[in-house]
Structure 1
Amino acid sequence: MIKRVITSISIAIVMAVVASCQPGTKEAPKTEPKDSITSQPLKPTDSGYADVNGLKLYYEVYGEGKPIVLLHGSFMNIPMNWAQVIPLFAKNRKVIVAEMQAHGRTKDISREFSYEAMADDVSGLLKHLKVDSADVLGYSMGGGVAFQFAVRHPEQLRRLVVLSGTYRHDGWWPDVEAMFATMNADMFKGSPIEQQYISYGNDSTHFPEFIKKVMSIDLKPYDWSRDVKNIKAPIFMAIGDADGVRYEHALELFRAKGGGKMGDIHGLPASRLAIIPGTTHIGMMQHMDWMLPMINDFLDADLNAPPPTF
């Protein structure tokens, strides 16, 4: 009975992932960034492959200004995760997006799939682009990569934004963590995820290996609590109120980063926490119009400003 329930949850989440690739039930999928004014395709100012750590990492760069790196979730790629987000950030920032190992146009290599290795790849990409430091935003799997980037490469990080990500394996609700072991390629049969995997020149017979490899990082325990709580850069962590991430997990980090005090008395902490109402794990990406003002305010905030007075 329990196994049946977990499998049902797994299928539901896969279907939600597939649905998240669609902007709405009455529209065709948006597969590339569009200029918000002209609705014309938004072309990158730079794109290509960076040779990092034995990997040919595909990347794109949009806009000008302070750099921000966007790190996608599991099974996703640039257009599927960020097509509607890139134009919003690119209005006044340099947006750097990449496709992680085995995802999108970045081909897999015979290397263990890990948050740590992908974080090192992001570091290598910034060096390739001659970007000294950047804000980093990671969603879901990308949130884990972002946490590890902050831990392993603090000199390259300005501020950190994690959307629906965890720094410890039990940061997920127990049923969600149990679900990971039940996910397989059959659940993605005919989905946009499988279609895009094949469209980028991958052998369809290797799709089950891709799903299994991506899931492998969440099938073994991990706990970066001590290192993450010692990150010096300000952190903005956001989860949905119906997310897969436990509220206590997010609150634990926020308290460690100076939260849990009345700001009018003690001043605002440099780090922030948001629990977004009416929002699931997948729904976080569908509510980026809500998130963007909060993210921009965090990234642009004067950390030396005094608390408000009456």
Structure 2
Amino acid sequence: MKHLKIVLTAFLILAAIGQTFAQKSPMDTTMYGRNKAVGKYVNLRGFNMYYEVYGKGEPMLIIHGNGGSINNFVYQIPYFAKNYQVILADSRAQGKSIDGKDSISYEMMSDDLNALMDHLKIKDANVIGWSDGGIEGLLLAINHPDKVKKLAVTGANLWPDSTAVDPFVYKMVMNQNRIAADTMKKIKAPTAEQKNQVKLLHLLSFEPNIKLEVLKKITCPTLVIGGDHDVIRTEHTMKIAEAINKSYLWILPNSGHSTPVIYHDLFNQVVSDFFKNPYRKIDKYGRFN
């Protein structure tokens, strides 16, 4: 039991949702993710999804990463809520969105978000996705292109091997997945929480499996973001940008995976400018500008 707890704690660190950069994170004390005044549940696609909405204006959907929740965007919510209707949800089997089923996939979670937009009668939205949330944002734009007006993703990957993920991180995650699976076999009656955490770790280890050519289906302008020392390899982030027809690429120097947290002011400004300004095709003589 103790061994499993250690493994799952390391897994949550790998999710890079901000707890690692301060002893007392603002994510621990913020009202976001537990705001009784605005928090709601909706029953859709077999589970109760928890969501919160802030601000007014053009809709913006913000998607958290593996093992995260709404509160991961403590720096983005107040910034973007000044000009947008900001919609955030705890993804299936994470945060307050409890889901006891054995299986989970990125496709399921992106379809959940599509269903949430339908429930809220939102025709389309600007979308921000971090880490696993970036994967879900890409899938939302692939499978429901009419729902995504513009897309910004940071720290997303298309497949789960060492060509996409930093080799040290990949080896670490796979080793943790093996240990967690072996340990679970020894537990006679694992709790629902233990099963859920192992399910999320398995997702992180073996998915997604998106082919580069499928990104051609994305028609909306897309800002592809990564840290130059991200857990996602820079060359993989570049491949994602190159495969999307209307894309910009932004690699932050001196940065790891937590771009919306560590560089929140710069992140918010650049993403905001991307959403506000028309996409500009840069080609031929325009490359000299």
TM-score normalized by the length of structure 1:
0.76
**Residue aligned with 1:299, SS:** helix
Q: 1: distance between equivalents of 2:119 and 2:255?
A: 36
Contact 2:110–2:136 (8 Å) recurs in 1: yes
Q: 1: distance between equivalents of 2:48 and 2:26?
A: 31
Q: Say if 2:206 is the partner of 1:220.
A: yes
Query: Structure 1: which 5+ runs fail to align?
Result: 1-7, 35-40, 188-203, 259-269
Contact 2:130–2:156 (8 Å) recurs in 1: yes
**Over aligned residues, Cα RMSD in angstroms?**
3.4
Aligned length: 270
> Match for 1:165: what amino acid?
A
**Residue aligned with 2:129, SS:** strand
Give percent identity, aligned residues only.
28
Query: Structure 2: which 5+ runs fail to align?
Result: 1-5, 181-189
**Residue aligned with 2:98, SS:** coil
Quick one: which of 29, 32, 47 aligns to 2:30?
Answer: 32
Q: 2: distance between equivalents of 1:130 and 1:228?
A: 26
Q: 2: distance between equivalents of 1:123 and 1:69?
A: 10
Contact 2:11–2:176 (8 Å) recurs in 1: no
Q: Say if 2:96 is the partner of 1:105.
A: yes
Report the CA distance between 1:23 and its aligned residue: 7.2
Q: Say if 2:42 is the partner of 1:50.
A: yes
Partner of 2:185: none
Contact 1:147–1:167 (8 Å) recurs in 2: no
- CA deviations 1:212-256 (Å, max 9, x no partner) are 100122332513322123311111111111101111112122223
Partner of 1:154: 145
Report the CA distance between 1:158 and its aligned residue: 0.6
**Residue aligned with 1:96, SS:** strand
Report the CA distance between 1:178 and its aligned residue: 2.3
Report the CA distance between 1:283 and its aligned residue: 5.0
Q: 1: distance between equivalents of 2:27 and 2:280?
A: 43
Residues 73-92 of structure 1 correspond to what in structure 2 (within 5 A)? 73-79=65-71, 81-92=72-83
> Match for 1:250: what amino acid?
T
Quickly say closer, same or farther: Cα 1:92–1:30, change in 2 above 3 A: farther
Quickly say closer, same or farther: Cα 1:209–1:223, change in 2 above 3 A: same
Quick one: which of 246, 250, 259 aligns to 2:237?
Answer: 250
Contact 1:72–1:139 (8 Å) recurs in 2: yes
Q: Say if 2:161 is the partner of 1:174.
A: no
Report the CA distance between 1:89 and its aligned residue: 1.0
Quick one: which of 105, 128, 136 aligns to 2:127?
Answer: 136
Contact 1:23–1:29 (8 Å) recurs in 2: no
Quickly say closer, same or farther: Cα 1:121–1:277, change in 2 above 3 A: same
Contact 1:139–1:163 (8 Å) recurs in 2: yes
Q: 2: distance between equivalents of 1:100 and 1:109?
A: 13
Report the CA distance between 1:30 and its aligned residue: 4.4
Partner of 1:123: 114
> Match for 1:238: what amino acid?
I
Q: Greater CA deviation, 135-144 or 12-21?
A: 12-21
Contact 1:171–1:249 (8 Å) recurs in 2: yes
- CA deviations 1:33-86 (Å, max 9, x no partner) are 58xxxxxx996874311222112111000001111111111111112x112321
TM-score normalized by the length of structure 2:
0.81
**Residue aligned with 1:171, SS:** coil
